[in-house]
A and B are shown apart, each in its own frame.
Chain A
Amino acid sequence: MRTIRIGSGAGYSGDRIEPAVELAERGDIQYLVFECLGERTVALAQQARLKNPESGFDPLLEERMRAVLPVCAAKDIKVVTNMGAANPLAAARKTAEIARSMGLSRLKIAAVVGDDVLEACKQRDLPVMEFDGTIGQLGNRLISANAYLGAAPMAEALSRGADVVITGRASDPALFLAPLIHAFGWPMDDWTRLGKGIVAGHLLECAGQVTGGYFADPSYKDVAGLARLGFPIGEVGEDGSLVITKVEGSGGSVTAQTCKEQLLYEVHDPVRYIQPDVIADFSQIEIEEVGKDRVRVSGGRGSERPLSLKVSVGYVDSFIGEGQISYAGPGALARGRLALDIVRERLKLTGVAANELRFDLIGVDSLHGPHVSAHANEPYEVRVRVTGRTENLREAVRIGNEVETLYTNGPAGGGGAYKSARDVVAVASVLLPRELAQPRVQFVGDGSR
């Protein structure tokens, strides 16, 4: 049976780069996938693109491509990535330019475009899934609308000879499903195998999260070598069989436990993991260690794909102002609480217009609130944190200021004050009939056709 090995070179936009180079050099892989596009990244990238039409793609694109293209070219490893963000075509042109500058102009670079469905969404007043309201009610606060595309256009690009495929918004697991569809010729209505392919993609898409990252808990779950964590390889058979492994000698570990944790990561109903190409079913999956750092994952299934595509909508939500200051030593907690009381009163006295305020003591109750943290011991030091949501930047700035002035007006011994104010680009979702997104493949540079 034919088997291919797919490496996962990044689990988010800022991820470590050298594990991807290690995968290309020593992973015996045929495909290297970089998943770099967070929920709201497209919206931020769209804002950048509006200022400069040749920008709007991942800021680390050049660094990543320079790091891996030579070895990928030498070993004929195909690269698939969503680093195109809001501008896959410009990202592809940039990649072609990088390839040329490295003497690799023979590489064929393809962009997948068509995930941008802003116009289609504006024409229809679609209901927003996260809150009561419609996309139309966002008015001029609406920044971007990008459909989660499936694997088909990426698979098409590979079949037309692309060495590098750059997409914008696509479902993360689809980045991994595309090479499988291309390599094995899986029909797009073979729900069982597509479901198995999604299981592979889902386990691989967060890179180090399946090889021991986001896992260690000393003396309960020990993981060696996290500073040189190896990124995962999916060994996938033509029938959809799957083994998760990593480069021998790299840090971290692949165990049944790491795979189980990642299997359920960001999953709701395990019977219905909704993807553009298939509704995957994780409920019957079995996980078995078959060797050192080798875990077999079997039993994935799928059912017919949904009629709609999920669209990620970026919009200007509000502004957030924040201030922090620390207290330590005997009485630190009482001084921290006093500081919060003072800021609470000051925000009222000075009439700061906030829709929502939050008063935390970092080290005491900031992560889970006073109820969950109730039985905690008194710490040596606490950090006061006040945040608020406002309608404009001016009001947001005033929140941090009221924390900073605790230096000379607040409790004894406050140190290390910090303040910030920023606009908030938030993301919501709508469902769009799938025929309204028209993805297409476009080759660029010397390899274009």
Chain B
Amino acid sequence: MRLREIAHSRTGDKGNISNISIIAYDAKHYPLLLAQVTPERVKAHFAGVVEGEVVRYELPRISALNFVMDRALGGGVTRSLALDAHGKSLSSALLDLEIEAVPDKL
């Protein structure tokens, strides 16, 4: 299944750094996010978009992850050549990530 089935997401921007939250709809899916939505996978998913490091922060109390992606916005929001200079649409791309469902966790 797609990540979209179990989580929602929002993108924010600061300079050339994009952050994407991934929030489980249901707290019981948080372990799936932890196990499968790794910074390595996120970095690979955004090949060609994110040039820098991807760091993941964990917020178990709200069943959320926060990904901070360096050099992700074409040189920075205020100077980028990109159509979506803020990278607002990146959250939707991440929700396309394939998640391997563990039956007893659903």
Q: Hey, which bits of chain A sit against chain B, CB under 8 A?
A: 39-40, 129-130, 214-215, 217, 220-221, 257, 260-271, 282-287, 299, 317-318, 320, 356-358, 360, 362, 366-372, 385, 387-389, 424-429
**A381 to B13 alpha-carbon distance, docked (Å):** 30
Q: Collect the chain A residues with CB atoms within 8 Å of residue B79's CB.
A: 317-318, 389, 424, 426
With beta carbons under 8 angstroms apart, the residue of B47, B66, B81, B90 that contacts A371 is: B47
Is the beta-carbon distance between B4 and A265 smaller than 8 angstroms? no
B77-97 interface bits toward A, Cβ cutoff 8 Å, 1 = contact, 0 = none: 111011110000110010000
Q: Collect the chain A residues with CB atoms within 8 Å of residue B89's CB.
A: 367-368
**A369 to B49 alpha-carbon distance, docked (Å):** 7
Q: Collect the chain B residues with CB atoms within 8 Å of residue A427's CB.
A: 15, 76, 78
**A262 to B9 alpha-carbon distance, docked (Å):** 10
Is the beta-carbon distance between B48 and A369 smaller than 8 angstroms? yes
With beta carbons under 8 angstroms apart, the residue of A130, A260, A356, A429 that contacts B21 is: A260
**A317 to B78 alpha-carbon distance, docked (Å):** 9
Is the beta-carbon distance between B81 and A266 smaller than 8 angstroms? no
**Chain B residue nearest in CB terms to A429:** B15
Q: Known contacts A267-B12, A318-B79: does B21 contact A261 (CB below 8 Å)?
A: yes
Decide yes or no whether B33 CB sits under 8 A from chain A. Answer: no
Is the beta-carbon distance between A263 and B84 smaller than 8 angstroms? no
Q: Known contacts A261-B8, A265-B10, A368-B89: does B81 contact A356 (CB below 8 Å)?
A: yes
Is the beta-carbon distance between A268 and B81 smaller than 8 angstroms? no
**Nearest CB in chain B: distance from A298 CB, A:** 10
Is the beta-carbon distance between A265 and B61 smaller than 8 angstroms? no
**Nearest CB in chain B: distance from A20 CB, A:** 23
Q: How many A-B residue pairs have CB under 8 A?
A: 124
Is the beta-carbon distance between B23 and A261 smaller than 8 angstroms? yes
The 4 A-B residue pairs with the shortest CB-CB distance in the complex, in nearest-first order? A266-B12, A264-B21, A261-B10, A369-B48
Q: Collect the chain A residues with CB atoms within 8 Å of residue B66's CB.
A: 264, 267-268, 270
Q: Known contacts A264-B19, A360-B83, A425-B78: does B93 contact A368 (CB below 8 Å)?
A: yes
With beta carbons under 8 angstroms apart, the residue of B57, B74, B75 that contacts A270 is: B57
**A204 to B12 alpha-carbon distance, docked (Å):** 15
**Chain A residue nearest in CB terms to B83:** A366
Is the beta-carbon distance between B62 and A130 smaller than 8 angstroms? no
Is the beta-carbon distance between B59 and A264 smaller than 8 angstroms? yes
Q: Collect the chain B residues with CB atoms within 8 Å of residue A425's CB.
A: 78
Is the beta-carbon distance between B49 and A368 smaller than 8 angstroms? yes
Best-surrounded residue of B16, B62, B76 (most CB of chain A within 10 A): B62
**A285 to B60 alpha-carbon distance, docked (Å):** 10
**A46 to B48 alpha-carbon distance, docked (Å):** 36
**Nearest CB in chain A: distance from B81 CB, A:** 4
Q: Collect the chain B residues with CB atoms within 8 Å of residue A285's CB.
A: 59, 61-62
Best-surrounded residue of A262, A367, A388 (most CB of chain B within 10 A): A367
Q: Collect the chain B residues with CB atoms within 8 Å of residue A370's CB.
A: 48
Q: Known contacts A265-B12, A267-B12: does B78 contact A389 (CB below 8 Å)?
A: no
Decide yes or no whether B64 CB sits under 8 A from chain A. Answer: yes
> Can you name 5 extra interface pairs (CB under 8 A) apart from A39-B78, A262-B10, A372-B93?
A261-B21, A264-B59, A366-B84, A368-B48, A428-B15
Q: Collect the chain A residues with CB atoms within 8 Å of residue B46's CB.
A: 368, 372
**Nearest CB in chain A: distance from B13 CB, A:** 7
**Chain B residue nearest in CB terms to A299:** B61
Q: Which B residues between 15 and 62 are near A, CB-CB below 8 angstroms?
A: 15-17, 19, 21, 23, 25, 45-49, 57, 59, 61-62
**Nearest CB in chain A: distance from B78 CB, A:** 4
Q: Collect the chain B residues with CB atoms within 8 Å of residue A269's CB.
A: 57, 68
Is the beta-carbon distance between A268 and B19 smaller than 8 angstroms? yes
Is the beta-carbon distance between A265 and B47 smaller than 8 angstroms? no
**Chain A residue nearest in CB terms to B65:** A264
Q: Collect the chain B residues with CB atoms within 8 Å of residue A282's CB.
A: 59
**Chain A residue nearest in CB terms to B44:** A371
Q: Collect the chain A residues with CB atoms within 8 Å of residue B48's CB.
A: 368-372
Is the beta-carbon distance between B83 and A267 smaller than 8 angstroms? no
**Nearest CB in chain B: distance from A339 CB, A:** 16
**A106 to B62 alpha-carbon distance, docked (Å):** 47
**A445 to B63 alpha-carbon distance, docked (Å):** 51
Is the beta-carbon distance between A387 and B81 smaller than 8 angstroms? yes
Is the beta-carbon distance between B76 and A130 smaller than 8 angstroms? yes
Is the beta-carbon distance between A268 and B62 smaller than 8 angstroms? no
Is the beta-carbon distance between B19 and A217 smaller than 8 angstroms? no
Q: Collect the chain A residues with CB atoms within 8 Å of residue B82's CB.
A: 358, 366-367
**A214 to B91 alpha-carbon distance, docked (Å):** 11
With beta carbons under 8 angstroms apart, the residue of A264, A287, A367, A389 that contacts B12 is: A264
